[in-house]
Structure 1
Amino acid sequence: MILGLFKLLYLYWLLSCGFLQEYKCITGKRIDFFHSTKPQPHQFTILVRSIPVSAGSSVSESVERFFMEYHPSTYLSHMVVHRSSKLQSLIKDAKKLYKRITHLQSEPNQPQYRHVGFFRHRVDLVDHYGKKLEDIEENMRLERSEVSLATQEVRAAFVSFKSRYGAAVAFHMKQSINPTEWVTELAPEPNDVYWPFFSSSFMRRWLSKIVVIVACILLTILFLIPVLVVQGLTNLNQLEIWFPFLKSILTITFVSQVITGYLPSLILQLFLKIVPPIMEFLSSIQGYICHSDIEKSACNKVLWFTIWNIFFATVSIFLDPKHIPAKLASAVPAQASFFIAYVVTSGWTSTSSELFRIIPLIWSLIRKPFTCCSDEEFEVPSIPYHRDIPRILFFGLLGITYFFLAPLILPFLLVYLCLAYIIYRNQFLNVYAPKYETAGKFWPIVHNSMIFSLILMQAIAIGLFTLKKLPLASTLIFPLPVLTLLFNEYCRKRFLPNFIAYPAEVLIKRDREDRYDPKMAEFYDNLVAAYQDPALLPIQFSANSDSLYSPLISAAQPYLI
């Protein structure tokens, strides 16, 4: 039996390595996608931060002077970032008022008047909101003129180049003798930029990272409370000690099965619902400049939070950090029934509810009576990567660690994966609309999770053979983690660089293909203003509110969000 298990572990390792070769396939698809897309602004642009400014000059002048001197043949233009948080708030208030006015005009049955003041004067709501809108527009004009001044410039700018290779050279090379000045990074897509954090100083960004780390640690510690409750529910003896008055009820077979089988998973599922939004908020104040990086960071946080609090904390590994393999070998099999129930309650239920989007539906029904505008434009949702990817990867970890300890979990996982494939395929095609193009950037997270799952499975196998007092088997298993780590290092050296930046071979080839494209001149003209702050774009609210279809946004200057 042990020999058969040993052979199975090696076979599974070989199959897993074959699966991880998918890294090569994803890398190829990423390169093919790059060649098949039209020229994009972020391919020609970098973000420059910590710009030194000499006395008597502005940030814009410093950027133009520097890149005209050191990148004269490739430099095209730049766009300096301004402090526009107050202007963004005014625009948001103006849009709300405009929607109220259009809603009142489109709904004749709605009350058009309101009594205000001590003497209960009758006020026309359309006229009342119109005057407020005029005041806000005047404040917007004043604030926009103030924001445009050089004193409101942030020491950061989007710098665009005439070629992709020119942008790549500027990104990879240090621009100054002082490495803390002229710091470069790849620019995100224009609609992916997270504008609020650009006004933050270096010190604030550094302090924010420390605050986020502390907050994640505190959240992890606090989450141990529901984990301990779940552990008590899975153990009837412990539950009888905590609640002696339930002893007679717990003797009923059906009640005990429900409490120990399904109730713990449901409790954990309810608590886990609040984790992704919290992690997304923490990532948003960590200093990232784009929504995609925020979501990637949140995805990593949720994944490792789930692995630690649901897997390790549930098996009580934190109570005995010594002899971890032996502890895992004894504790993990004992929680097999709990994790099978967890796959059913969390996996099947969440995937099925995703098809009907029950939670957004309930939220919209609750919110509808309190909204003033029932005819608001419908916003197409985007896939919450930081919520769904960690869940799928955690179920993959359960399958890898339990396939030889409790094979009964595999059919439940197979049903979950089939459901997830069918449902999410439909959601991607018919429901969700991506806010930004990932181009496979989330794949390294999947790869790292698989490597960790393999090493964890092998550590459990070593501990299991040690408990069985089979030193030969445990000794023969030791090469597996080493081989897995070597395989991971090969993938990291061979494929990961292509997910950080495209190679010169690909960039130069694509630049040569676009050299004779007649549409490139128009593209360069649009690239000059592609990264302008949306708050600085002219927005026209209708001065005459008589027409329901009066434009909120100027057709000549689209509002980028």
Structure 2
Amino acid sequence: MLVSALLTSVGINLGTCILFFTLYSILRKQPGNIYVYAPRLIAEGKSQLSDDFNLERLLPSAGWVQRAWQPSEEDLLSAAGLDGVVLMRIFIFSLRVFSFAVIVGIGILLPVNYLGNQLSIDFSDLPNKSLDIFSISNVDNGSKRLWIHFSAVYVFTGVVCYLLYYEYKHISSKRITYFYASKPQPHQFTLLVRGIPLSAGKSFNDSVESFFTEFHPSTYLSHIMVRQTNKLQNLIRDEQKLYKRLVNLKSKNPAQKKYTRDGFLGLFGRRVDIVDHHEKKLEDLQENVRREQLGVSLTGEEVPAAFVSFKSRYGSAVALHIQQSTNPTEWITEQAPEPHDVYWPFFSASFIQRWVSKLVVFVACFILTVLFLIPVVFVQGLTNLKQLEAYLPFLTGILAITFVSEIITGYLPSLILQLFLTMVPPIMKMLSSIQGYTSNSGILRSACTKVLWFTIWNIFFANVLSGSAFSQFFSLVLEPKNIPAKLAAAVPAQLLNVYEPKFETGGKFWPIVHTSTIFSLILMHILAFGLFGLKKLPLASSLCIPLPIVTLLFNDYCQKRFLPIFADYPAECLIKKDREDQNDPAMTEFLENLVTAYGDPSMMLMQHSSNDDGYASPLLQSREV
């Protein structure tokens, strides 16, 4: 990419950023948009609609930027939970790393590279020169200036590791504090038990009751069996779609009658009022739902899985961490997610179905990664003007226009790549949802990991190496010791107003950030090792070897010191919290409600009215204990 193309891209991006900031500043002030920009404040009664005209509404302002940074961690914790705090800490950590990298990169390394003599540069025509003049490629082979880059690798590694340790320690401390301050939560007392064996003459329900009554008599409280509700879930989904369609019809010219045919596709049959027709269909669907709910409640097929609740957190933790049976494939326990976090559709899947799903997801992710190479290679072709003219000679005349060529090579590639990337997270979330996870948070964490590795491969490796990787593929395979050198040669060439948390993981997303950062550091070390060897400075290359070793040892220490706190709370915390609750009069009511906390939502009786979106009530008041 040429320097002029980069400057054009920076100018376009900067102008677009200012435009979006201006539009947001104006649109957020309009009364009609308050449900978009502050729905949570409206729901909590903290903001009210005002139709009074005000000229200030039409003028952009930057005060919201300052207010966005004003809330303290405590404010964010109370409004968005610990996950909201962790998200903000991720932003802060990233800004600190990026700021340090900018200071070192632009303030120190860029001038060193620019003053090198390895590349022949005509400074009189600098805008039309390649960006390689600002990279380490321009530093002379064997130059002592390369030791500045070597020092930067060590210093950067040390700073990032320090920031990682600080954040890990801070967030783990917040996690313990948040646990002590929290009220009793159902998932703290409940386990999901799978692989329930079926005894002769007993149902799964009877097996669970007899097993936990016998082996956990002092702590076992109750359980709820999971049942086959696939058909019921489909009926409820159809009911909700029809209800939304009916509400939409009534909101459009309610006084005007609309008609349709009650036959196939609305083309045949009697001519009927469309609203009355949909209301009748909704009543029929609701009746089918109630009939199916009653059938599932009385004689529905049980799944070999149950939510088992205990009288104390410690009792739940003991049952979680000890093997329940001599057969490790039976009575498998895992921490239950929050009731609102449970992902119900996959409970009905068998072991074989879950195994096949995982295999299908792996293959799908691989295919998606490979197919994404097509736009990546295309984008890389746009950045090379000469290559673009060679492949598309009919564009030669257009590309001769300076501004057009700068936009195509400088701005268009990143725009195309970002447009393609917007499709990746939804696809990864969909793939994770069929992988066998029983919680929405588990699906999201899995999707985040998939997106992370997808980005590392396609945006870093494939994007950087696409101009050389395919032509050098066989040399990489035949000579794996040259991979670092090949890589080195190719590289230089918030929350408060809008979102209401649906579930709380207690900051479990932070370890993903830590692990990905460690991976990035190791990758940087490998690149530095190959790069210094390529630049004829073997001593610096050799001195890079301790870096990944020390980084991995640091990561191992952090994993042992902090990661267990993110997996489970220690016995010390659980027992202290249980003792506090013994004197809480509300604990009795909590345990009573815990018995039905994990009821399948599809077994709740949905009732719709013209005034609201509906409400749910238990179909039956019976309990399974």
Q: TM range, normalised to the smaller chain?
A: 0.7 to 0.9
Which of these residues, 177, 182, 188, is aligned with residue 43 of structure 1?
188
CA shift, 1:9, in A, is 2.2
Q: How many residue pairs were aligned?
A: 461
Q: What letter corresponds to residue 7 of structure 1 in structure 2?
A: S
Q: Does 1:484 align with 2:546?
A: no
Contact 1:48 1:183 in 2 (8 A): yes
CA shift, 1:123, in A, is 2.7
Q: What letter corresponds to residue 227 of structure 1 in structure 2?
A: V
Q: Does 1:454 align with 2:521?
A: yes
Q: Which residue of 2 aligns with 1:371?
A: none
Question: For each residue in 1:243-296, what CA deviation from the matched residue of structure 2 results, as whole angstroms up to 9, or x when unmatched?
Answer: 111223323322222121111111111111111111000000000001000000
Q: Does 1:553 align with 2:620?
A: no
1:26-425 alignment runs, 5 A limit: 26-101=171-246, 109-116=254-261, 121-316=270-465, 318-319=469-470, 320=473, 321=476, 322=480, 323-334=482-493
Q: Does 1:5 align with 2:149?
A: yes
Question: For each residue in 1:303-341, what CA deviation from the matched residue of structure 2 results, as whole angstroms up to 9, or x when unmatched?
Answer: 11011001100122754433121112111112xxxxxxx
Contact 1:104 1:112 in 2 (8 A): no
- The worse-fitting range, judged by mean Cα deviation, of 15-24 and 112-121 is 112-121
Q: What letter corresponds to residue 17 of structure 1 in structure 2?
A: C
Q: TM-score, normalised by structure 1?
A: 0.78
Contact 1:104 1:110 in 2 (8 A): no
CA shift, 1:54, in A, is 1.2
1:428-443 alignment runs, 5 A limit: 428-443=495-510
Question: For each residue in 1:122-158, what CA deviation from the matched residue of structure 2 results, as whole angstroms up to 9, or x when unmatched?
Answer: 5344443333233222222321122124551111000
Q: What letter corresponds to residue 237 of structure 2 in structure 1?
A: K
Contact 1:47 1:157 in 2 (8 A): yes
Q: Structure 1 pair 6/152, CA: closer, same or farther in 2 (3 Å)?
A: same
Contact 2:606 2:617 in 1 (8 A): no
Structure 1 stretches lacking a partner, 5+ long: 335-426, 543-547
Contact 2:191 2:316 in 1 (8 A): yes
In 2, the alpha carbon distance for the partners of 1:95 and 1:6 equals: 61
In 1, the alpha carbon distance for the partners of 2:388 and 2:348 equals: 52
Q: Does 1:16 align with 2:123?
A: no
CA shift, 1:105, in A, is 5.8
Q: Structure 1 pair 504/318, CA: closer, same or farther in 2 (3 Å)?
A: farther
- The worse-fitting range, judged by mean Cα deviation, of 292-301 and 312-321 is 312-321
Contact 2:428 2:451 in 1 (8 A): yes
Which of these residues, 491, 507, 517, is aligned with residue 574 of structure 2?
507
- Radius of gyration: which is bigger? 2
Contact 1:77 1:528 in 2 (8 A): yes
1:185 aligned counterpart, secondary structure: strand
Q: What letter corresponds to residue 154 of structure 2 in structure 1?
A: Y
Q: Which residue of 2 aligns with 1:537?
A: 604
In 2, the alpha carbon distance for the partners of 1:300 and 1:119 equals: 51
Q: TM-score, normalised by structure 2?
A: 0.70
1:175 aligned counterpart, secondary structure: coil
Q: Structure 1 pair 101/218, CA: closer, same or farther in 2 (3 Å)?
A: closer
Q: What letter corresponds to residue 189 of structure 2 in structure 1?
A: F
CA RMSD of aligned residues (A): 2.1
Q: What letter corresponds to residue 481 of structure 1 in structure 2?
A: P
In 1, the alpha carbon distance for the partners of 2:586 and 2:619 equals: 20
Q: Structure 1 pair 469/274, CA: closer, same or farther in 2 (3 Å)?
A: same
Q: What letter corresponds to residue 332 of structure 1 in structure 2?
A: V
CA shift, 1:78, in A, is 0.3
Question: For each residue in 1:450-479, what CA deviation from the matched residue of structure 2 results, as whole angstroms up to 9, or x when unmatched?
Answer: 111111111121112101111111111211
1:262 aligned counterpart, secondary structure: helix
In 2, the alpha carbon distance for the partners of 1:551 and 1:432 equals: 19
Q: Which residue of 1 aligns with 2:623?
A: none
Structure 2 stretches lacking a partner, 5+ long: 1-144, 621-625
In 2, the alpha carbon distance for the partners of 1:39 and 1:119 equals: 58
Contact 1:146 1:152 in 2 (8 A): no
1:315 aligned counterpart, secondary structure: helix
Q: Structure 1 pair 133/315, CA: closer, same or farther in 2 (3 Å)?
A: closer
In 2, the alpha carbon distance for the partners of 1:217 and 1:104 equals: 44
In 1, the alpha carbon distance for the partners of 2:445 and 2:496 equals: 22
Contact 1:78 1:158 in 2 (8 A): yes
Q: Which residue of 2 aligns with 1:496?
A: 563
Q: What letter corresponds to residue 170 of structure 1 in structure 2?
A: A
Q: Which residue of 2 aligns with 1:545?
A: none
Contact 1:164 1:507 in 2 (8 A): yes
Question: For each residue in 1:152-182, what CA deviation from the matched residue of structure 2 results, as whole angstroms up to 9, or x when unmatched?
Answer: 1111000000001111111111111111111
Question: For each residue in 1:212-252, what CA deviation from the matched residue of structure 2 results, as whole angstroms up to 9, or x when unmatched?
Answer: 00111111111111111112111122212211112233233
In 2, the alpha carbon distance for the partners of 1:550 and 1:26 equals: 40
In 2, the alpha carbon distance for the partners of 1:278 and 1:551 equals: 29
CA shift, 1:113, in A, is 4.7
Q: Structure 1 pair 7/95, CA: closer, same or farther in 2 (3 Å)?
A: closer
Q: What letter corresponds to residue 477 of structure 1 in structure 2?
A: C
In 2, the alpha carbon distance for the partners of 1:549 and 1:235 equals: 60
- The worse-fitting range, judged by mean Cα deviation, of 527-536 and 450-459 is 450-459
Q: What letter corresponds to residue 213 of structure 1 in structure 2?
A: F
CA shift, 1:100, in A, is 4.9
- The worse-fitting range, judged by mean Cα deviation, of 281-290 and 446-455 is 446-455
Q: Which residue of 2 aligns with 1:413?
A: none
In 1, the alpha carbon distance for the partners of 2:183 and 2:155 equals: 44
The alignment-based identity, stated in percent, is 62
Q: Structure 1 pair 120/327, CA: closer, same or farther in 2 (3 Å)?
A: closer
- The worse-fitting range, judged by mean Cα deviation, of 549-558 and 16-25 is 549-558
In 2, the alpha carbon distance for the partners of 1:10 and 1:488 equals: 16
Contact 2:604 2:617 in 1 (8 A): no
- The worse-fitting range, judged by mean Cα deviation, of 211-220 and 107-116 is 107-116
CA shift, 1:495, in A, is 0.9
Contact 1:45 1:187 in 2 (8 A): yes
- The worse-fitting range, judged by mean Cα deviation, of 449-458 and 98-107 is 98-107
Contact 2:189 2:313 in 1 (8 A): yes
2:615 aligned counterpart, secondary structure: coil
CA shift, 1:555, in A, is 6.0
Q: Structure 1 pair 514/119, CA: closer, same or farther in 2 (3 Å)?
A: closer
Contact 2:219 2:315 in 1 (8 A): yes
1:255 aligned counterpart, secondary structure: helix
In 1, the alpha carbon distance for the partners of 2:411 and 2:451 equals: 23
Q: Which residue of 1 aligns with 2:588?
A: 521
1:179 aligned counterpart, secondary structure: coil
Q: What letter corresponds to residue 552 of structure 1 in structure 2?
A: G
Q: Structure 1 pair 289/4, CA: closer, same or farther in 2 (3 Å)?
A: same
Contact 1:59 1:150 in 2 (8 A): no
